[in-house]
Structure 1
């Protein structure tokens, strides 16, 4: 039996608690452009707008409001409202699924780099193997190492944690690789927890992956209003799965955590989901315009930043290749020019090495990004003029 590890500090959140609201230019935001309540209500039907304004502020259903679960189910191919459990953001889903599925006798597999809770929470329960992602001259610059995942499987492997579009690299899997991975997990009875919070904002919609709950009987799809929809203030997330008995176990665990969601947030999430085509189209336009501007900056200073355009989501994980190292590069940008990036050390893993010369940059916001990009260009002109094309 494995002795559980204590959960270490969530390095990203510790870093953000210090800098997110202090830095002049937040250039590592992981969400798309948000909006104010009046802007969202303007997208609502008269009926939904009235329902929000007259909402009773009591407890809500632990599973989530039926109208919300039904609207979430419409974003899947095969799911119904009974296949959906609402949660307080995606973080509660990552936490509860690991705590419900895993025991000290089990084993989990996590690709790296990754969102820290995807490895830290399983590590608090059982053995976990990290499988480094492959880098190279490939579409998107990164890919999952299928052979390494296969080699990592043990007789007691219970869970594989995935994230597509991937944070922080923006990687997506080609269909044949996803089919191979599902076949491998099906053979060994392994659950797949798939973090799909950036689905809907792929840079090329043709690359969009199916949702794991629709195509695998042991698949658990995790999503949230925070990222692709740009509404993190709602704190509304969910999991979807074919196995409703698993959802029941997670719902019972939720009783010890959030218990239920905020009623106003649920109603606003319903409005946003009904307007999802409009919201995602707006966010896609912002994101694609920004990534082109970001590429122009990097291309204007060849040899300074190693960059591959991500395939999906609004974050990327380029590599600093100029003088010094990536940590110093990020620190100088912040201290001298007020530009906040996430240095690679924030993605340090207990399971595998992550290059400190990488950094996360976000390109999903509108004016914030444009102002920050100008500050980056001025900083580059001042400190890296020798790289200027």
Structure 2
């Protein structure tokens, strides 16, 4: 197959490990293996005795049980574990999309959610835009229904949305699932930031509401354990999962045994890890809000209700990609411009989930002052 370059990964390949001030990262603060194992009595000793042979292709049965426990109505048989979220997305889309199909993707979105559709001959792709509503991002369900065609096979959504931060409410989740059910459309729901709500409303997993839905989860984002490279699909549609696992046979085959062990430890303490990420995001947003209030003539801040990312707007005439390039070249501050998402407009992504955000904001302010952007 021929597939387009993954723009975000190409961009991060240039700067993620060289720029000293990362102000755009979409994952939350990580921890050491020692810190994680300390959360569970006896885990360190058991980890050192972990067998390093092959694991089951579906994932460690005990891990699948723990993951299933995150949902309201799932069993281990409804969980398929992958080597990270990226593998799960790629496998699912390749299995589900065929020539002549049509898919819709919430947009902007993680590129792999829709790029496979672009690589399948005669497979059409439509964008369901998250739109700028001034102080926040908004979505239009009537527009979604207008995009549906007789051959629409899959709707791919991402909530909380990366990069905008838009998050469906539970009422909207029920409406979304009903639309998909009424039109017999599969729903691919990327929910890798679930559990980081800041508005007091705990969101449901979408796969608990609709049998034609698959929920994507991962250890990387909300849990801050990206180095484990463990993700999963959860769905009541076991027939679909049985097809997807056969695609995995041509990819990783199985996951890393140490990573699955550490994921089990982490998910047994899911609430504690999510609170850790949540509290850090809340504190960083407070600092960012002060920053944007001070520089309201330069930026239009967008509110977020869940997750660690926001998509703010640059208010000056300089193209946003040029502005972001200047920030990383002159001060080592990494931001992500809208062009990475093939999106027009003066938008850039900021991330609030890392401990380094306060220092990065200080350096960002120094960049503005030193380069004549302030009054």
Query: Which interval holds the TM-score relative to the shorter structure?
Result: over 0.9
* TM superposition score normalised by structure 1: 0.93
Deviation at 1:144, TM superposition (A): 2.2
Match of 1:364 in 2: 353
Matching residue within 83, 97, 110 for 1:88: 83
| Structure-2 residue corresponding to 1:291 | 285
Q: Which residue of 1 aligns with 2:129?
A: 132
2:309 is aligned to: 315
| Paired residue total | 373
User: For the residues of structure 2 that align with 1:106 and 1:386, how far apart are their CA atoms?
Assistant: 51
2:260 maps to 1:271: no
Kept in 1: contact 2:195–2:203 (CA 8 A):
no
Q: Distance in 2 between matches of 1:254 and 1:243?
A: 17
User: What is the distance in 1 between the residues matched to 2:57 and 2:374?
Assistant: 59
Unaligned runs of 5+ in 2: none
RMSD between aligned residues: 1.4
- Equivalent residues in 2 for 1:156-171, closer than 5 Å: 156-171=151-166
Structure 2 residue aligned with 1:172: 167
Q: Does 1:12 align with 2:8?
A: yes
Aligned equivalents of 1:205, 1:241: Cα separation in 2 = 26
Tell me the distance in 2 between the aligned counterparts of 1:382 and 1:303: 17
CA deviation string 1:354-386 (max 9, x = no partner): 2241111111001x2122111011122333564
1:118 & 1:187 partners in 2: Cα distance?
A: 22
Q: Report the TM-score when normalising by structure 2.
A: 0.96
The equivalences for 1:98-113 within 5 A come to: 98-113=93-108
Q: Does the 8 A contact of 2:337 with 2:348 survive in 1? A: yes
Verify the 8 A CA contact 2:84 2:230 in the aligned structure 1.
Answer: yes
Q: Deviations over 1:26-80 (max 9, x none)?
A: 111110000011100100221x333211011000000000110011111111111
Q: How does 1:1-389 map to 2 (within 5 A)?
A: 6-46=2-42, 48-125=43-120, 126-137=123-134, 141-206=136-201, 208-348=202-342, 354-366=343-355, 368-384=356-372, 386-387=374-375
1:8/1:120 contact within 8 Å kept? yes
The 8 Å contact of residues 30 and 364 in structure 1, kept in 2 or not, is answered as: yes
- Say if 1:386 and 1:230 are closer, same or farther in 2 by CA, change over 3 A: closer
Give the Å deviation of 1:182: 1.6
- Secondary structure in 2 aligned to 1:260? coil
Contact preservation (8 Å) 1:172, 1:209: no
SS of 1:239's partner is strand
Deviation at 1:325, TM superposition (A): 2.1
User: What SS does the aligned partner of 1:316 have?
Assistant: strand
- Preserved contact between residue 173 and residue 206 of structure 2 (Cα < 8 Å): no
Cα deviation digits, residues 181-227 of structure 1 (max 9, x gap): 22111111100000000001122241x32111111010100010000
Aligned to 2:67, what secondary structure does the other structure show? Answer: helix
SS in 1 for 2:156: strand
Alpha carbons of 1:135 and 1:56: their partners in 2 closer, same or farther (altered >3 Å)? same
